[in-house]
Amino acid sequence: MDRKYFGTDGIRGQVGKGHITPDFVLKLGWAAGRVFGKAGNSSVLIGKDTRISGYMFESALEAGLVAAGVNTRLLGPMPTPGIAYLTRTLHAQAGIVISASHNPHQDNGIKFFSAQGRKLPDEVELAIEHELSGKMTTVGSEMLGKADRVSDAAGRYIEFCKSTIPSTMDFSGLKIVVDCANGATYHIAPYVFDELGAEVITIGAEPDGVNINAGVGSTNPDLLVETVLNTGADLGIGLDGDGDRLIMVDDQGNILDGDDVLYIIARSRQENGGLNGSVVGTVMSNLGLELALKKQRIGFERVNVGDRYILERLQDKDWAIGGEPSGHIICLDRTTTGDGIVSALQVLAEVYKSGKLLRELSARVEKCPQVLVNVRVEEGSNVMELPALKAAVKDVETELNGEGRVLLRPSGTEPLIRVMVEGRNAQQVSCLADQLAGRVKELVAIR
């Protein structure tokens, strides 16, 4: 059965359009309540990032769940991985996240976690979609759900994050810049690193409802780089709006993406005897990461883009470590989903243990030139199926002559076609990426 509403990462779009409207989210809450309520007398958690529209959708979800007879617990602003953690530890039937991650404030979305703090199985998403096709009803007054707030949600999650590294580690003497992207980690991330002894300089921690990800965070690292250099910090940590992505900056202002972070964590686990199996990346992972891991005799496998597919492979193989260049890093030996704060702590733990600088730990990953160009398209565009575009891809591959890769894929979260070219020669790679992106734009305009 094809999904009508759920994408690869929940339901997402521009506020007030499509399915991201109060009336749809109200019914979505009711439909989810109908599904989760069948499991017995339990609660569903709702958390959100700092977008102004979160108030509206929080209320809509609460009303829908209560109408279906399900108790609701409100977490307030909370990182996505924090909601996954609390869903498990508070023994809720499910957790609901109101967030559009790294997107601007005009967007929002709804995604779910199971009682185990993992993404919902396909059959549960399909069951919710089935309920959405029916007429919304309300249970009798005596059966209505109740709602309350979890007042200590942030404190619980802070303690969990700290518990993912040895309690003997003390980051005293380490100066860190933490960029919270004016998002859900603003009242959590600085305290985690501060309580572990580091000197913390915080930026991007003044959310006003519309400045989430605006000029700050993992997708906009310029201010983080500037602050690290200006303050003489040892390193910088850049999170995204919902706290599941991470980039880092070394003391010289060099940006470490998810591939670099993944390598450091994998090597650390290997040296400590805790690397179980291979590392999982995606088709977007740089060839340099694969080669660096190979030199250390660490296996590497690629899957399609999306943390859902990384999780599936890790679970199927009973492995622990995977991630994407965008900064989604999954440490299943620590938690159930991608977590920016937890991933940063694993890197800091290796800095502490090894006594090395961050740039020394990442030095063995020699990146191959890789250019990514985003081309905006209309929703539902089928430009990817055009023979003319397939021919253009083949032309680029011919020019690379077996010494590079070409990848075109539609974004799972935005109306974009992502054009990636990787090869040995930086100038050639850049020219070919622009050439191919230009062809996509031409074909989009024709249609």
Over residues 192-229, the pLDDT tens digits come to 999 999 999 999 999 999 999 999 999 999 999 999 99
Q: Please tell me what DSSP assigns to residue 39.
A: G
Which of 151, 177, 197 marks a domain boundary? 151
Q: What is the CATH number of the domain that holds 268?
A: 3.40.120.10
Q: Is residue 326 part of a domain?
A: yes
Residues 318 and 426 in one domain: no
Which of 151, 175, 192 marks a domain boundary? 151
Residues 297 and 167 in one domain: yes
User: Quick one: pLDDT at residue 124?
Assistant: 95
Residues 91 and 192 in one domain: no
* Pair type for strands 370-376 and 416-423: antiparallel
Q: Which of 53, 99, 101, 381 is catalytic?
A: 101
User: Quick one: pLDDT at residue 45?
Assistant: 98
Q: Is residue 427 part of a domain?
A: yes
Q: Is residue 6 part of a domain?
A: no
Over residues 83-110, the pLDDT tens digits come to 999 999 999 999 999 999 999 999 999 9
Of all residues in the chain, the percent with pLDDT exceeding 70 is 98
Reported pTM:
0.90
Structural domains of the chain, count? 3
Which of 361, 388, 422 marks a domain boundary? 361
Residues 314 and 181 in one domain: yes
Residues 353 and 338 in one domain: yes
User: Quick one: pLDDT at residue 382?
Assistant: 77
Residues 40 and 143 in one domain: yes
Over residues 423-445, the pLDDT tens digits come to 989 999 999 999 999 998 988 87
Question: CA 155, CA 184: separation in Å to the nearest integer?
Answer: 14
Residues 15 and 108 in one domain: yes
Q: Is residue 2 part of a domain?
A: no
Q: Do the beta carbons of residue 59 and residue 48 sit within 8 Å? A: no
Sign of the CA dihedral with 285 first, then 290, 293, and 299 last: positive
Question: CA 54, CA 60: separation in Å to the nearest integer?
Answer: 10
Residues 62 and 28 in one domain: yes
Residues 260 and 409 in one domain: no
pLDDT band at 306 (very low <50, low <70, confident <90, very high): confident
Residue range 11-40: average pLDDT? 94
Q: Is residue 4 part of a domain?
A: no
Residues 265 and 401 in one domain: no
Indicate if the pLDDT at residue 147 is higher than 90.
yes
Over residues 65-83, the pLDDT tens digits come to 999 999 999 999 999 999 9
**E strands in 68-181:** 71-77, 94-98, 107-114, 147-149, 175-179
Task: From residue 270, give the alpha-carbon distance in Å to each of 168, 264, 280, 299.
Answer: 20, 10, 15, 11
For the question of residue 101 being annotated catalytic, the response is yes
Give the residue numbers spanning the domain of 144: 11-151
